[in-house]
Amino acid sequence: MENVEKISKNVVASLVFTVTEATTGKVVQQVDAPEEFLIGNDLLLDAFENGLAGLAPGDTFHFPVDAAGAYGPIDPHAIFDLPMSTFAEADGKVDEEVVQVGHVFPMADKDGNRHYGKIIRKMKDTVTMDFNHPLAGKDLVFQGKVISLRMAHPDELKNL
């Protein structure tokens, strides 16, 4: 396997890191066991890859990413009401224990694309669902360490 000295396109970087909300310091993701990421193939946030570019094994990183460079602003058009009947089971009844504020449901749009929506309000006959990414509208801070690097295997690149 080819020795890789720095993060660049088609390199698999093994990282440990923490992602926090910039304004609150709340940890939104913590990766303590090294996790591998394929760089330069539009699989990751551009701002994340840009923050890692040129780093070598053993290097640490700490960089902010504003909401626009992360998961974008909150889209008000991705928040809307659905009839309670959307959640009816085969018998036509809605399980009130399942349909609760804070619960997330996988749903499909008219084209069959899957989206995850979070119930943010429940009324008698409708629920308000938010289909924005959970980190939309949030500025983030990434910090961590590069553990190791390797070139991607051909089979890792063939289906991109």
The structure's pTM equals 0.80
User: What pLDDT, on the 0 to 100 scale, is given for residue 75?
Assistant: 96
Tokens of 39: 């760089």
Residues 147 and 15: their CA atoms lie apart, in Å, by: 5
CATH class of 11-71+137-157: alpha beta
Quick check: 99 and 84 in contact, CB under 8 A? yes
- The pLDDT confidence band at residue 7, using thresholds 50, 70 and 90, is very high
Please state the domain extents for the chain: 11-71+137-157, 76-130
pLDDT at 73: 96
Q: What is the rounded CA–CA span in Å between residue 13 and residue 36? A: 5
Please report, for the chain, how many H helices and E strands are present, in that order: 2, 8
Give 76-130's CATH code, choosing from 3.20.20.100, 1.10.1510.10, 2.40.10.330, 3.40.50.880: 2.40.10.330
Q: Do domains 11-71+137-157 and 76-130 have the same CATH topology?
A: no
